[in-house]
Structure 1
């Protein structure tokens, strides 16, 4: 083989290697582009799923609040019916005593229904004043020494709902 033939063949081999390297680079770029496209697609789907999740949980929260109110109202309807019956019986009843008994029964039923829903009345009369649960409206001279800085009268009862204050008690404190 002559030197010229050897160089021609050598040049031909280098061209083949360059073409192979170029094809390999294109293949690597295509793979990287494909991976990037897949990652972008995955990101877009994940973002859409999260957005849908936020919307769904927001709707569920609103539905839960509305249905919780519906539950309480449904449990209070029998008490409303009892009040209607009591009002109707007051018009026809000659005895005030039977009306008082009926109203007492309805009141007890109403309070029991509220207690079942988690409502609890604050017992503050005669207790030391506590600003976390009570609102002092005014002070008055204490009737006895042991009632100083204690609640001597309750103007408006306070209530807890599942151990959280729903309404503070409005009280008068002895000085």
Structure 2
């Protein structure tokens, strides 16, 4: 064999040896990786099982929380409806004695002709009614002699007045009322022009 052929043969042999070594290393690496992958797969299976269990627990907790919230919302709505339904209970209880006194006054008026006593009784009942409503925060507006204010007054007429300047409430046609700090009914008034 010529030297050139021998070198070429040896070069081919070296290349084949290098290929064999590479293939062996690749097989060993993939076997090692396969073992690691199998171990990771087993570990992932345990972790996956734990994660699924946690997920199911969180889902159940979420369902319970949603049910609790729905129950709370329903209870709150029922309580509001019940409160609105019976909100006037306290005032009505306070008005019952007034109604009783009015019934007595009507019965007394039918039996006798003492109109002075009847008038005095009705005045007492009126004061009792004012006190009852006043205890709930109702108060009449003081309007005569005050400047006209559209938030509190409803002007139905303008009149000439020598006693008051322009824009002052001269007379009250219908009383206005405040409930605590809110206008319940504006006063109907005549205003000076």
User: How far apart are residue 151 of structure 1 and its match?
Assistant: 0.8
The 10-residue stretch of structure 1 (124-133 or 41-50) with the greater mean CA deviation from structure 2: 41-50
**CA distance in 2 between partners of 1:137 and 1:37 (Å):** 71
- SS of the residue corresponding to residue 148 of structure 2 reads coil
- Give aligned pairs, total: 167
**CA distance in 2 between partners of 1:27 and 1:58 (Å):** 46
- Say whether 1:92 aligns with 2:111: yes
Q: Is the 8 A contact 1:93 1:99 kept in 2?
A: no
Q: 2:148 aligns with which of 106, 129, 134?
A: 129
**TM-score for both structures, normalised by structure 1:** 0.85
- SS of the residue corresponding to residue 87 of structure 2 reads helix
- Say whether 1:61 aligns with 2:80: yes
- SS of the residue corresponding to residue 72 of structure 1 reads helix
- SS of the residue corresponding to residue 139 of structure 1 reads strand
RMSD: 2.2
User: How far apart are residue 59 of structure 1 and its match?
Assistant: 1.3
- Please say which structure displays the higher CA radius of gyration: 2
- Give the aligned partner of residue 56 of structure 2: 37
**TM-score for both structures, normalised by structure 2:** 0.78
- Give the aligned partner of residue 149 of structure 1: 167
User: How far apart are residue 35 of structure 1 and its match?
Assistant: 2.2
- Give the aligned partner of residue 66 of structure 2: 47
User: How far apart are residue 14 of structure 1 and its match?
Assistant: 6.1
The 10-residue stretch of structure 1 (126-135 or 44-53) with the greater mean CA deviation from structure 2: 44-53
**CA distance in 1 between partners of 2:80 and 2:156 (Å):** 38
Q: 2:182 aligns with which of 149, 164, 167?
A: 164
In structure 1, runs of 5+ residues without a counterpart are: 1-8
- Say whether 1:83 aligns with 2:102: yes
Q: Which has the higher contact order (CA 8 A, sep 6+)?
A: 1
Residue by residue over 1:105-126, the C-alpha shift from the partner in whole angstroms, topping out at 9 and shown as x without a partner, is 1111011111011111111111
User: How far apart are residue 160 of structure 1 and its match?
Assistant: 1.2
